[in-house]
């Protein structure tokens, strides 16, 4: 087995109590194997099931005992058969002993690899750990487990136990469960072993790390407090998005008779001098240009190279600050973890001291980092403490990137207090909301935290691999519907809803919403159809729909709109003049005809004046007004004009 290969034994509980969740176990394991087929196809896998009627394992044959443990598959390179196999796990009939099964699995790993391949041997147990284990021939169970754990540690086997308990009933089991949990804990403290407790099928799917990525350090070097004090640290990615595999493009151009066709597609980039011409330049004849106002300024690679911002590798402390100064939503990227160099005991201590004290007094550190020499930029980020809960794990920091001044877009939003009161909840509504926030609880103290990111699988990946499997069997397989288990992720939990039905109902009742009636379908579409960002140079201060812009008369009905529309017409130059003349005439008419329309006349005068200012037409409004209104008592109005 080569360096970067893993030997894995799945130890699966198929006893009667597990039957209800076995479909999910099958899904999780099949996903794991599918990914191995794609990403780690030289990995080797064996499968052990326990709780079966029959017994079939080497230890039973050699020394007896180890009943109801069946080796479904010996450790072999992963292949399509095993991916198939794991989807049809047998349904067992007896309550199995997980310790027996673990020993069988361990024995397989040791026999296969011996002492080699430290850290590359993995034992994965999935059980409800609710069945009693047999007493050992000699000594206590604790002794026995400690011995096994030490053996596992010595052999460099990693162990993970996923304990699935959805709805355990009956207190008869309580003692057994307590004992089993205790035994599993013994593994954790004596070997590289972790136990994950899950309650829902969704968490079960998420609990099995299905993608094996060799951890690589991003940085090894000094965390510099000041030039005299440096702490040796290693930095890894803590979070990195797992994506769909990159699918290659396929060409069907080759004739079907061509047995050697590769069906590959090459992407070519041509750099054309102009869109029309066929003249093409070589990539190295191009030069980068950057916008400067309207122009594009070419900057040669040499100029960039000599002038650009230069960095030196290192992590430098800028200082500490109150944790409350760093709001959570400022974290910009996926997260790194900064661990002390494991070979430097003093660094482990220094990190431990700072991390623990940070947690104690609620402070965080601000650091400036350059991970590689010559990196194009420095990053500023925040170190937050990651105080280990396990005795054998060193304390460390999480590192999150913070934004630069340029990254922040300061847009003001109305304060909630300043909104009209009809938009704000009253006391009763607030109480209803409080109740909802309290009761629609995903982290009840007695139970597992629901939808914990650490245990929530990616539904899209799950679906892709499922589809891939189907397609491998039949090329025209249809896309399977969304897996039921994943409903818990995209919809509210019906149980939670029904338990809180009255709260949900009163929330619905208290907060009525309705479609805005003013926003008719047509206007919605209008909104949509309006091309965005059109900065209409010709748009006047007053804008109208273009079709309305063809007004050529100041009418009686809407004189002001007509006037404004006319004055803003740009198709001929004399519209302005025409508009003004017509407006004047209309005002005179209004004033002469009817005294009630004095207000309207006045509005018209104001519009006329505004139009004149806008159009830079010199026009003595007072002279006009005086002439027109000489018979009327309007002086109060004109004083302020």
Q: Which residues, 308 to 337, sit near another protein by CB under 8 A?
A: 308-309, 316-322, 325-335, 337
Residue with tokens 């960002």: 533
**489 touches another protein (CB under 8 A):** yes
**288 touches another protein (CB under 8 A):** yes
Cα distance between residue 217 and residue 237, in whole Å:
8
Q: Which is nearer to another protein, 171 or 535 (CB)?
A: 535
Cα distance between residue 589 and residue 582, in whole Å:
10
Q: Which is nearer to another protein, 532 or 547 (CB)?
A: 532
Of 51-59, 85-93, 174-182, 463-471, which segment contacts another protein by CB under 8 A? 463-471
Residue with tokens 């609710």: 130
∠ CA 281-285-291, nearest 5°, is: 105
Cα distance between residue 362 and residue 246, in whole Å:
43
Q: Which is nearer to another protein, 360 or 585 (CB)?
A: 360
Smallest distance from another protein to CB 574, Å: 18
Of 101-109, 470-478, 550-558, 595-603, which segment contacts another protein by CB under 8 A? 470-478
Q: Which is nearer to another protein, 429 or 549 (CB)?
A: 429
Q: Which is nearer to another protein, 38 or 553 (CB)?
A: 38
Q: Which is nearer to another protein, 170 or 453 (CB)?
A: 453
Is 64 in contact with 90 (CB distance < 8 Å)?
A: no
In the set 20, 140, 303, 502, which binds another protein (CB under 8 A)?
A: 303
Smallest distance from another protein to CB 120, Å: 13
- The H-assigned helical ranges of 43-97 are 58-63, 80-85
**484 touches another protein (CB under 8 A):** no
Smallest distance from another protein to CB 407, Å: 5
Site for another protein in 345-364 (CB under 8 A): 345-350, 352-354, 356-358, 360-361, 363
Site for another protein in 435-454 (CB under 8 A): 436-438, 440-443, 449-454
**366 touches another protein (CB under 8 A):** yes
- Ordered strands of the 157-164 beta sheet: 69-77, 44-50, 7-13, 121-127, 157-164, 193-198
Q: Is 377 helix (H, G, I), strand (E, B) or coil?
A: coil
Q: Which is nearer to another protein, 402 or 637 (CB)?
A: 402
Cα distance between residue 148 and residue 191, in whole Å:
9
The DSSP output letter for 551 is -
In 3D space, the residue among 290, 312, 291 whose CA is nearest the CA of residue 301 turns out to be 290
For 273, 293, 484, the CA distances from 299, given in Å and listed in that order, are 18, 15, 56
In the set 66, 113, 486, 629, which binds another protein (CB under 8 A)?
A: 486
∠ CA 592-594-598, nearest 5°, is: 90
**265 touches another protein (CB under 8 A):** yes
Structure-block tokens of residue 301? 């690679």
Q: Which is nearer to another protein, 415 or 630 (CB)?
A: 415
Of 16-24, 49-57, 291-299, 557-565, which segment contacts another protein by CB under 8 A? 291-299
Site for another protein in 405-434 (CB under 8 A): 405-413, 415-416, 419, 422-425, 429-430, 432-434
In 3D space, the residue among 132, 33, 145, 134 whose CA is nearest the CA of residue 85 turns out to be 33
Q: Which is nearer to another protein, 110 or 489 (CB)?
A: 489
* Count of residues engaged in binding another protein, rule: CB under 8 A: 226
Query: Which residues touch 244 (CB under 8 Å, ≥6 apart)?
Result: 460, 461, 464
Q: Which is nearer to another protein, 93 or 375 (CB)?
A: 375
Site for another protein in 596-635 (CB under 8 A): 610, 613-614, 616
Using DSSP bridges, classify how beta strands 193-198 and 157-164 pair: parallel, antiparallel or unpaired: parallel
Structure-block tokens of residue 258? 């061509």
Query: Which residues touch 122 (CB under 8 Å, ≥6 apart)?
Result: 6, 7, 8, 9, 157, 158, 159, 160
**297 touches another protein (CB under 8 A):** yes
In 3D space, the residue among 354, 410, 412 whose CA is nearest the CA of residue 386 turns out to be 354
**99 touches another protein (CB under 8 A):** no
Q: Is 455 helix (H, G, I), strand (E, B) or coil?
A: helix
Is 586 in contact with 556 (CB distance < 8 Å)?
A: yes
Site for another protein in 66-85 (CB under 8 A): 80, 83
Q: Which is nearer to another protein, 167 or 532 (CB)?
A: 532
Of 3-11, 397-405, 581-589, 622-630, which segment contacts another protein by CB under 8 A? 397-405
Smallest distance from another protein to CB 632, Å: 24
Residue with tokens 């980020």: 381
Cα distance between residue 224 and residue 374, in whole Å:
18
Q: Which is nearer to another protein, 132 or 342 (CB)?
A: 342
**269 touches another protein (CB under 8 A):** yes
Neighbours of 129 (CB within 10 A): 23
Using DSSP bridges, classify how beta strands 280-281 and 121-127 pair: parallel, antiparallel or unpaired: unpaired
In the set 91, 151, 211, 578, which binds another protein (CB under 8 A)?
A: 211
In the set 138, 512, 571, 599, which binds another protein (CB under 8 A)?
A: 512
Of 100-108, 393-401, 558-566, 620-628, which segment contacts another protein by CB under 8 A? 393-401
**264 touches another protein (CB under 8 A):** yes
Site for another protein in 217-246 (CB under 8 A): 225-226, 228-229, 232, 236-242, 244-245
Smallest distance from another protein to CB 630, Å: 23
In 3D space, the residue among 206, 177, 195 whose CA is nearest the CA of residue 24 turns out to be 206
Q: Which is nearer to another protein, 3 or 514 (CB)?
A: 514
Site for another protein in 555-594 (CB under 8 A): none
**Is the Cα torsion angle 227, 228, 233, 239 positive or negative in sign?**
negative
Phi, psi of 398 (to 5 degrees): -95, 145
Q: Which is nearer to another protein, 169 or 278 (CB)?
A: 278
Residue with tokens 């201060």: 541
Is 217 in contact with 236 (CB distance < 8 Å)?
A: yes
Site for another protein in 131-150 (CB under 8 A): 149-150
Cα distance between residue 144 and residue 180, in whole Å:
13
């Amino acid at each position: 087995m080569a360096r970067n290969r893993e030997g894995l034994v799945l130890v699966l509980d198929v006893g009667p109590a597990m039957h209800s969740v076995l479909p999910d176990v099958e899904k999780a394991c099949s996903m794991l194997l599918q990914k191995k087929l794609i990403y780690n196809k030289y990995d080797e896998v064996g499968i052990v099931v326990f709780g079966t009627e029959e017994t079939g394992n080497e230890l039973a044959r050699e020394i007896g005992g180890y009943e109801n443990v069946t080796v479904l598959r010996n450790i072999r390179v992963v292949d399509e058969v095993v991916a198939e196999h794991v989807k049809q796990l047998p349904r067992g009939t007896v309550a199995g002993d997980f310790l027996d099964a673990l020993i069988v699995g361990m024995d397989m790993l040791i026999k296969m690899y011996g002492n080699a391949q430290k850290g590359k041997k993995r034992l994965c147990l999935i059980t409800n750990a609710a069945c009693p284990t047999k007493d050992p021939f000699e000594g206590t169970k604790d002794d026995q487990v400690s011995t096994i754990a030490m053996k596992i540690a010595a052999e460099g086997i990693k162990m993970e136990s996923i304990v699935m308990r959805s709805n355990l009933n009956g207190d008869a089991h309580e003692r057994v469960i307590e004992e089993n949990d205790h035994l599993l804990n013994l593994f954790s403290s004596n070997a590289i072993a972790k136990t994950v407790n899950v309650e829902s099928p969704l968490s079960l799917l998420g609990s099995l790390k299905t993608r094996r990525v060799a951890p690589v350090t991003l940085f090894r070097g000094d965390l510099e407090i000041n030039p005299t004090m440096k702490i040796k640290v290693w930095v890894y990615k803590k979070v990195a998005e797992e994506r769909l595999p990159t699918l290659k493009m396929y060409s069907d151009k080759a004739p079907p008779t061509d047995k050697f066709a590769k069906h590959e597609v090459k992407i070519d980039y041509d750099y054309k001098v102009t869109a029309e011409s066929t003249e093409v330049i070589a990539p190295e004849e191009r030069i980068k240009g950057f916008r400067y106002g309207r122009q594009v300024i070419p900057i040669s690679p040499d100029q960039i190279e000599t002038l650009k911002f230069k960095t030196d590798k290192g992590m430098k402390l800028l200082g500490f600050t109150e944790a409350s100064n760093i709001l959570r939503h400022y974290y910009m990227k996926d997260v790194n973890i900064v661990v002390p160099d494991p070979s430097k005991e003093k660094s482990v201590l220094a990190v431990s001291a700072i991390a623990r004290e940070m947690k104690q007094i609620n402070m965080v550190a601000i650091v400036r980092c350059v991970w590689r020499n010559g990196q194009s930029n420095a990053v500023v980020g925040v170190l937050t403490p990651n105080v280990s809960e396990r005795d054998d794990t060193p304390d460390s920091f999480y590192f999150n990137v913070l934004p630069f001044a340029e990254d922040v877009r300061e847009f003001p939003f109305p304060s909630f207090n300043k909104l009209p009161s009809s938009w704000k909840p009253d006391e009763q509504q607030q109480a209803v909301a409080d109740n909802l926030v309290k009761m629609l609880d995903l982290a009840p103290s007695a139970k597992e935290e629901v939808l914990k990111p650490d245990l929530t699988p990616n539904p899209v990946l799950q679906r892709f691999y499922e589809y891939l499997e189907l397609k491998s069997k039949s090329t025209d397989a249809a896309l399977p519907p969304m897996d039921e288990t994943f409903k818990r992720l995209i919809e509210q939990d019906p149980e939670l809803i029904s338990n809180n039905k009255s709260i949900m109902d009163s929330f619905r009742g208290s907060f009525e919403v309705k479609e805005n009636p003013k926003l008719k379908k047509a206007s919605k579409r209008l909104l949509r159809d309006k091309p965005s960002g059109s900065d209409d140079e010709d748009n006047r201060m007053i804008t109208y729909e273009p079709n309305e812009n063809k007004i050529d008369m100041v009418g009686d009905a809407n004189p002001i709109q007509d006037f404004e529309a006319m004055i803003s017409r740009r198709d001929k130059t004399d519209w302005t003049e025409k508009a003004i003349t017509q407006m004047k005439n209309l005002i005179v008419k209004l004033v002469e005809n009817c005294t009630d329309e004095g207000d309207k006349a006045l509005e018209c005068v104001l519009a006329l004046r505004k139009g004149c200012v806008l159009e830079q037409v010199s026009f003595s409004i007072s002279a006009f007004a005086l002439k027109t209104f000489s018979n009327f008592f309007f002086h109060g109005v004109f004083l302020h004009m």
